[in-house]
Amino acid sequence: MTDQNSFPEPVEGEEPASATDPSTGSGSDSGQPVDGATEDATFIEAEGPDVETSLSDADLSFLEDASSASSSTASDEVLAAERLADLQRVTAEYANYRKRTEANREVERERTVGEVVKVLLPVLDDLDRAEKHGDLGDGPFASIAQKLRGGTERLGLKPFGAAGDAFDPQLHEAIFQQPSADVEVETVADVVETGYYLGSTLLRAAKVVVSTPVSA
Q: Which residues pair with 172 in a beta bridge?
A: 206
pLDDT > 70 in the chain, percent: 67
- CA–CA separation, 72 vs 80, rounded Å? 12
Q: Tell me the one-letter amino acid at 151.
A: G
**Predicted local distance difference test score (pLDDT) of residue 45:** 47
- CA–CA separation, 82 vs 31, rounded Å? 77
**Predicted local distance difference test score (pLDDT) of residue 189:** 94
List the strands of the sheet with 187-193, edge to edge. 172-180, 206-213, 187-193
**Predicted local distance difference test score (pLDDT) of residue 6:** 46
- CA–CA separation, 159 vs 180, rounded Å? 27
Q: If pLDDT is split at 50, 70 and 90, which confidence band does 66 have?
A: low
Q: Is 208 exposed, middle or buried (0-12, 13-18, 19+ CB in 10 A)?
A: buried
CB neighbours of residue 6 within 10 Å: 7
Instruction: Please state which CATH number belongs to domain 156-216.
Output: 2.30.22.10
Residue 29 has pLDDT above 50, yes or no: no
Q: How far is CA 71 from CA 35, 57, 75, in A?
A: 55, 21, 6
Residue 187 near residue 166 (C-beta atoms within 8 A): yes
Pairing outcome for strands 195-198 and 172-180: unpaired
pTM score: 0.53
Residue 212 near residue 191 (C-beta atoms within 8 A): no
Residue 76 has pLDDT above 90, yes or no: no
Q: Tell me the one-letter amino acid at 161.
A: G
Residue 175 near residue 207 (C-beta atoms within 8 A): yes
Mean residue pLDDT of the chain comes to: 75
**Predicted local distance difference test score (pLDDT) of residue 53:** 47
Residue 70 has pLDDT above 60, yes or no: yes
**Predicted local distance difference test score (pLDDT) of residue 111:** 83
